[in-house]
Amino acid sequence: MYEGIDTIVLFEELAYEDILPLRWRAASGQVSEVFRRSCDEGNLKILQAAAAIEEHVQPEKSKADDHSQYHADIVRMDMKINLLLDMVGQLLAAQQPRPDAMSIRFNKLGAVWQHKGTPPTLQAAGLLEIYLRECVAEPLRLIGQVVSIGQDGRVKIKFDPMGQVVSDLIEKLAFRRHRRQVAGARQPKNK
């Protein structure tokens, strides 16, 4: 039975899609192994932080939680934490201006986005910076190469291989987004 949900894919794998601040930086030369490791270490921290934030934003609850005497207190605390994270994110955004937000789809293999302004050069190597959350100051830094540029400004890049843990966390990020979309589509619409 079709539920009206389209699975978001890129390079034949589940992908994360959103409108996020991002920036493409063309490489001026060969990317060093030291820089690659540094990106992987930073990406690991950012993806772990994003996962922790999502747990606060979308708490998993079971039927037993609904009847817990502490459920209302936990929900109130969760709302306060979310408010605090939003406020910190707004302060960070005001202190460190971010690039323009663009529609992007990405997974562990690559990314495609609707580029604003002058697009990168075909076959150019570089660094894609994706700001996942307002309250996380640093972006994901993903090294790759431009594989296509559409007439409409859509840029597609293929990422260089990354560490297995980072790759797994990006897969989980895409899966959680997909799971939330499926769950949202299954909920009855209030009239």
Task: Enumerate the domain spans of the chain.
Answer: 9-59+69-185
Find all residues with CB under 8 Å of 43, minimum gap 6, and list them. Answer: 140, 141, 142, 162, 166, 169
Domain 9-59+69-185 in CATH 3.40.50.720: no
**Average pLDDT value for residue range 35-48:** 94
User: Rounded to whole angstroms, how far apart are CA atoms 96 and 76?
Assistant: 30
What is the per-residue pLDDT for 51? 85
What is the per-residue pLDDT for 186? 66
- Answer whether residue 190 shows pLDDT above 80: no
Q: What is the pLDDT of residues 69-123, one digit of tens each?
A: 787 888 778 778 777 877 776 777 677 788 999 999 999 999 999 998 888 999 9
Q: What is the pLDDT of residues 153-181, one digit of tens each?
A: 899 999 999 999 999 999 999 998 888 87
**Average pLDDT value for residue range 7-31:** 90
What is the per-residue pLDDT for 164? 96
Whole-model pTM: value is 0.78
Helix (H, G, I), strand (E, B) or coil at 57: helix
Give residue 134's identity as a one-letter amino acid code. Answer: E
| 114 burial via Cβ count (<10 Å: 0-12, 13-18, 19+) | middle
Task: Give the long-range contacts of residues 174-177, CB within 8 A, separation 24 or more.
Answer: 174/8, 174/13, 174/14, 174/15, 174/16, 174/107, 175/14, 176/51, 176/54, 177/8, 177/16, 177/17, 177/18
Helix (H, G, I), strand (E, B) or coil at 50: helix
What is the per-residue pLDDT for 52? 80
What is the per-residue pLDDT for 66? 54
What is the per-residue pLDDT for 92? 72
**Average pLDDT value for residue range 25-50:** 93
What is the per-residue pLDDT for 55? 66
Instruction: Tell me the pLDDT of the chain averaged across its residues.
Output: 84
